[in-house]
Structure 1
């Protein structure tokens, strides 16, 4: 690696870290001003708990969210400074092409991308879980009871469904349980019970006060009893997953959940797929945003760094807006979630390629 590469790479990473460090305290200050009254409502909530369970995870979550913005601003900032000091002109005068000039930027973008991928897939989901639990316990007006689930419905396969009026997680007991099996749109079998309990020792369910109904062509067969031990293609963990947020599962668990749900014939999984694909698409945007920023800032402009920053921030706003729209549309049942999540990168990737060839010719 040449001295020039080390110099640019050092500027790349230090400027990125500086912008990120400047943005996060601003976000914390705004959040504290909005939440301080809610913190004070809980006499049992200590400052240590607020810092450990809320703001440590706040920094991880929002720091990861701010990464593309911080990177874009940082690259425009120090590249504009290089251009303003005529350093880039000197580099080109030394017969170094624009493509070769991009090498240290590519290395820096790779480092940021790898770090962001690890954070997105494994660290941020764990932080999200703790952060959301704190929110549900202390900050949200309507608390969510995740130990007592209500109105559960789960599709076990293309034609199999279960329904539960309520379920207690602590003792693995459900109430008013129904299992239905269809042939097309015709009901073929129905099993109802007032009470269902999971028996972990032998991985079976025990039904109390049950009724079985088998529907044939010319008659119905109805059986009833007080106790029945049976098995189903689900476990209590699957019932809890119904209420889990996709962003609270790491990518391994989220992928398993999506695969399992597909095997059961569940139709719309786009909310989970959007979250899964976004964890890769957002870090990859580091390359695209870096190349756009370099292409915009590599030329000395009348008006200096301010013009470059104005153009860059405007493009960043458009990118973030486009990203949010794509996420919302991608969660719809009739859309291709993978394409929608990657559409902002595809669009801005096209802009990056155009700007690259434009600068490479000069």
Structure 2
């Protein structure tokens, strides 16, 4: 008997969740496309192939994957609130528990299903989502407003720290074309005394050969006796170990890397002395904290919705949507706090779970003991 009920609840859980998932994807896709049509049309001025159909085929499928992953725990929460409230209003939960099953036993299929979704989400977050983000982020900047588009695709000063003693500065670097002007490379000894300096009027990236091309360069080597050796030429090709997107990363870079790649990148940046890594650490910790939140929010939703209330489904949905908003807003707010270095990334990305977990345990035990 209980196995039949388990299958019934799992079917309800997955069915409602799938329906919510498809509904959200369609509604949000239509709204987003309508909002971004003017920006997509303006992208055609930069590249004629970037029309609406191109975005629908090469951007939005991957954008949808990102959207689903972002709101997965909230979709689970609202889905459980919805179908559990309906079961409570139809007195199905009362009948199941009256038949001799404890509330803990009744909650087992919720646990199994939430763990299944959390595990799938964990694999997707760490391995699949970065692949989708690479595809999405190739076109993401074209959907931004002018100011934000300029940050990703425009021309701006750039700098990189290759190691604790090596630095690169570019006065004007265009991220879309991977070229710039006013290039400077400097190397120092452990006492911060300059050993070598290389300047060029223009710099560009050769993607095929993975080299930087420096035009009209001047180099200076400083000897131990402080004498200088000068050199110059029309062109010099240099390998600085990384592509421009690695040397001059933007805010989207962390999204594009699988977790092993992201860990290597963070470690490499730490060894170079880069302390501005919180946005990448936020990305790393969120990939695990969000799947865990699926289990927590499943039991929070069950605790809130498994008892028949005056006002029925509408009251439960209102409570659920309000708490979902608080949960999502807290993640986004804590990201900003962490990036400003007011809070460690690990604590920032796990804090919503740490707050919601004791609340969930309290409400669940209270409901189980009724």
- Which TM-score applies when normalising by structure 1? 0.85
CA distance in 2, matches of 1:198, 1:26: 41
Q: 1:14: how far off? A: 0.6
Query: Which has the larger displacement, 170-179 or 36-45?
Result: 170-179
Determine the C-alpha separation between the residues in 1 that align with 2:312 and 2:19: 21
Q: Find the counterpart in structure 1 of residue 55 from structure 2.
A: 50
Name the SS for the 2:311 alignment partner.
Answer: coil
Partner of 1:27: 28
Tell me, yes or no, if the aligned pair for 1:154 and 1:161 is still in contact at 8 Å. Answer: yes
Please list the CA deviations of residues 309-353 of structure 1 after superposition, one character each: whole Å capped at 9, or x if unmatched: 111111111111211111111222353110111000110011111
Query: What is the CA distance between 1:125 and its match in structure 2?
Result: 2.5
Report the counterpart of residue 79 of structure 1 in structure 2. 84
2:324 aligned residue: 316
| Cα deviations by residue, 1:170-210 (Å, 9 ceiling, x for unpaired) | 899985322132546x4353423337899998999999431
Aligned residue among 276, 289, 292 for 1:284: 292
User: Cα RMSD (Å) of the superposition?
Assistant: 3.3
1:210 is aligned to 2:216? no
1:250 offset after TM fit, Å?
2.7
Moved more, 219-228 or 259-268: 219-228
In the alignment, the residues of structure 2 paired with residue 139 and residue 319 of structure 1 have an alpha-carbon distance, to the nearest angstrom, of 25
Equivalent residue in structure 1 for 2:303, among 290, 295, 317? 295
Query: 2:360 — aligned with what?
Result: 352
- Say how many residue pairs are matched: 357
C-alpha distance in structure 1 between counterparts of 2:321 and 2:179, whole Å: 52
Matching of residues 19-168 of structure 1 within 5 Å: 19-41=20-42, 42=44, 44-137=49-142, 140-141=145-146, 151-165=157-171
Q: 1:15 aligned to 2:21?
A: no
* Deviation (angstroms), 1:46: 4.5
Once the two structures are TM-superposed, the CA of residue 237 in structure 1 deviates from its matched residue by 1.9
Distance in 2, matches of 1:78 and 1:314, equals 17
Q: TM-score, normalised by structure 2?
A: 0.83
Range with bigger deviation, 254-263 or 234-243:
234-243
CA–CA distance in 2 between the matches of 1:201 and 1:325? 42
Aligned partner of 1:271 in structure 2 is: 279
Contact kept, 8 Å, 2:205 with 2:213, in 1: the verdict is yes
Residue 333 of structure 1, aligned match among 321, 338, 341: 341
Query: Shift of the alpha carbon at 1:78?
Result: 0.7
Gaps of 5+ in 2: none
Distance 2:212 2:35 in 1: 49
CA contact 1:160–1:182 (8 Å) conserved in 2:
no
User: Residues 201 and 51 (structure 1 numbering): CA distance in 2 closer, same or farther, change over 3 Å?
Assistant: closer
> Which region of structure 1 is more displaced relative to structure 2, 307-316 or 288-297?
307-316
Between stretches 63-72 and 74-83, larger displacement belongs to: 63-72
Alignment match, 1:252: 260
Following superposition, the deviation at residue 224 of structure 1 comes to 1.5
Q: 1:50 offset after TM fit, Å?
A: 2.5
Structure 1 portions without partners, runs of 5+: none
